[in-house]
Amino acid sequence: MSISVGDKIPAVKLKTMTAEGMAEVDTSEFFKGKKVVMFAVPGAFTPTCSAKHLPGFVAKADEFKAKGVDEVACVSVNDAFVMDAWGKNQSTDGKVTMLADGNGEFTSALGLEMDGSGFGLGTRSQRYALVADDGVVTALAVEAPGAFEVSSAESVLSKL
């Protein structure tokens, strides 16, 4: 069963890269006391993710802040090194926090995994966006397979 509006974000350890190297991000701390917009992509550097999904959130980062969002984060079932390289490639610094769910534990805990093995991707995350206030999901938009509509930056902004 997948996460729903009203549910608490599960406590899982993610990874991110900092100036000091790889760091652990505890989701219970990351979401605590903040309004967070998190979106997930099936894979870093993949076509829709790189051409539309992540760039939309980078471009609209200031609009999210103006609507009271404390943090915008991108999560993917990729390692922290890949997420860091992708973030640099997409100029996310100071706009979107890049989080790695390398083993898919967070994705699985949310119940939002997908089978990408037909594309050589293995188990990945469905494309989605959520809004959480103090760790509780207040909005959730999960895309239909192959779609990119309800989880775009514009769509999420329209619901804030």
The catalytic site residues sit at 49
Q: Are 99 and 82 in contact (CB under 8 A)?
A: no
Burial label, 96 (beta-carbon count in 10 A; 0-12, 13-18, 19+): buried
| Cα 95 to Cα 2, 11, 71, 86, distances in angstroms | 28, 24, 8, 13
- Where on the phi/psi map is residue 123: left (φ > 0), alpha (ψ -120 to 50), or beta? beta
